[in-house]
Amino acid sequence: MVEDPPAEAYGRVTNPERFAPLIPAAEDLIADLERRFEVSVTRGPAPRSKSRTVELVELVEITPIRVDQAPLAITFTSFPGLYLDAGAWAHIALPACGCDACDEAAEDVLRELAEYSEALTAGQLSERITGRFRLILEHSWDGEGWVRSGRTRLSAARAAELRARPLQPPTDGRWRPWSLRS
C-alpha cells in the first residue's frame, strides 16, 4: 500500500533543477520541427507572468503553413519548465506541477514533450466546443500508444471568448498533419 505524501510536500519544491533538461530538449525539438516541417518559427519575449514565483522567459511560436494545421507555442519558464499551447485552446504545463508530493520525474516529462509534439505534428489533436445550452470544451490527443482527452464545462461568456479568438480549429475539430519540408 502506497502512503499519501505528507501535507507539507504539497506546494514545496526542493529540486526544481531536475527539470532543467527540458530546456535543451525543447530547443532541440524546435530545431527538429523547423528542419522537418514547413513551418515558420518566431522567437520573442514571453507575456508577463501571472505567477509570483515563476517568470515566463521566452516565447517560441511554431506556425505551420496551412491554417488547418495546429500551431505550437512553447513558453520557457524560470522554474525550469515549459508551457505548450497547441492548436486553438490546449494549454499544457511541463511539468504539470513539480511539487514534492507529485514527485514527477524529469524522464517522464521529457517523454510527454516528445509525445505531445509527435501527436500534434501527426494531426492527432482534436478540439471543439459542443452543446447549445450546456457548452463543453472537448479535446482529444490520440498519440502512438497513448490517448488523453478531457471535457470542460464552459460558461456562455467563456465559450464566446474562445470562439472570438482569431485562431480556431477546423470545422470538424480535427487538426491536420503538418506538411513535411521538401
Residue 20 has a pLDDT of 96
Residue 51 has a pLDDT of 84
Cα–Cα dist 78/174, whole Å? 33
User: Can you read off the three cell numbers belonging to residue 13?
Assistant: 519544491
According to DSSP, residue 174 is labeled B
Tens digit of pLDDT for each residue in 55-76? Answer: 999 999 999 999 999 999 999 9
Task: Report the candidate in 159, 130, 33, 38 with the shortest Cα–Cα distance to residue 84.
Answer: 33
Helices 106-121 and 22-36, packing angle to 10 deg: 20
User: Can you read off the three cell numbers belonging to residue 130?
Assistant: 459542443
In percent, the amount of the chain with pLDDT more than 90 equals 80
What are the backbone dihedrals phi and psi of residue 57, each rounded to the nearest 5 degrees, phi first? -95, -50
Instruction: Give the residues of the chain that fall short of pLDDT 70.
Output: 1-2
Residue 98 has a pLDDT of 84
Q: In what order do the strands lie in the sheet with 125-130?
A: 125-130, 135-143, 146-154
> Do 142 and 153 meet the contact criterion of CB atoms below 8 Å apart?
no
Residue 2 has a pLDDT of 63
CA 100 to chain centre: 22
Q: What is the CA radius of gyration of the chain?
A: 17
Residue 156 has a pLDDT of 95
Residue 157 has a pLDDT of 96
User: Can you read off the three cell numbers belonging to residue 142?
Assistant: 490520440
Residue 3 has a pLDDT of 78
pTM of the model: 0.92
Residue 5 has a pLDDT of 78
